[in-house]
Amino acid sequence: MRTLWETNKPLTATGILMLPVIVLTVIGVFIDPRIITGMPAWLKPAKFAVSISIYTLTLAWIFRYLADWPRLRSITGWVTSVIMVLEIGIISIQAARGTTSHFNVGTPLDAALFAIMGAAILIAWLASIAVMVALFRQNFTDPVMAWALRLGVLIAVLGAATGGLMVTPTSAQRSEARVTQHMTVSGAHTVGAPDGGPGMPGTGWSREHGDLRVPHFLGLHAMQILPLLAWLWKPKRASAIIAAGGAYGLLFALALAQALAGRPFLGGLR
């Protein structure tokens, strides 16, 4: 942790800040009886706090390999940290209000908060693309770890991009808006049904329909899984980790195709 702090203070501070947020939101899951789209009100903030902590600390660790890019590390570190704190803040505010944070455009306030989140996460995504480009241009002494990081962040960038598929209004939402002249929800995780149906424990991924959160999750965590695989497996040739990255990318692509086809994750594996 000391090494991460020396590498990038904003990212490390954000990762540490999420730890008490995780504790508080998990407590909220058990003491707050409210349900939002089929899940405990504080489960979403808890999951996002965990995800943000993992992401920011991982990014700080990756920055150790970008010695030639001090300005990029400084700018992307601050930008990412501020945006992640903003995101968890809005998600928690909406949970406290007893409503959804994502896809919620029912009132001017809800629509404004959702728009702020969307604009902020787009900036964070562009920052991650800058990191990816730097990794492909950086010289490494270890080619195996080099390709694990490059492919891991590349797939993570693609995984983050699937969030754009979620914000498109569904046909049912557009039809309702034409009738009522007002749209309260714009977008969904679930493909083929409204959000809030039967879901897998913990994740909430739909058990009956496609769910875009599955490829989103798989894609984002490539930046941890591939470097971890390179560290544990210790292949002697870069071609081995490149093949592993290709296989992981194929898994991500198949999960995305399955979700878009409206097929549930576990159902599609049987």
The pLDDT tens digits of the residues spanning 208-229 come to: 899 999 999 999 999 999 999 9
What 108-117 contacts at long range (C-beta under 8 Å, 24+ apart), as own/partner pairs, is 114/186, 116/86, 116/90, 117/86, 117/87, 117/90, 117/91
Mark out the alpha helices in 32-170 (DSSP H runs). 43-63, 70-97, 108-137, 143-161, 163-166
pLDDT for 185 equals 86
Give pLDDT tens digits for 7-25. 999 999 999 999 999 999 9
pLDDT digits (tens, 9 = 90+) for 137-195: 999 999 999 999 999 999 999 999 999 899 888 888 888 888 888 888 888 888 988 87
pTM, 2 dp: 0.91
What whole-number distance in Å separates Cα of residue 209 and Cα of residue 132?
33
pLDDT band at residue 270, thresholds of 50, 70 and 90?
Answer: very low
What pLDDT shows up at residue 179? 86
Is pLDDT at 257 greater than 70 in this prediction? yes
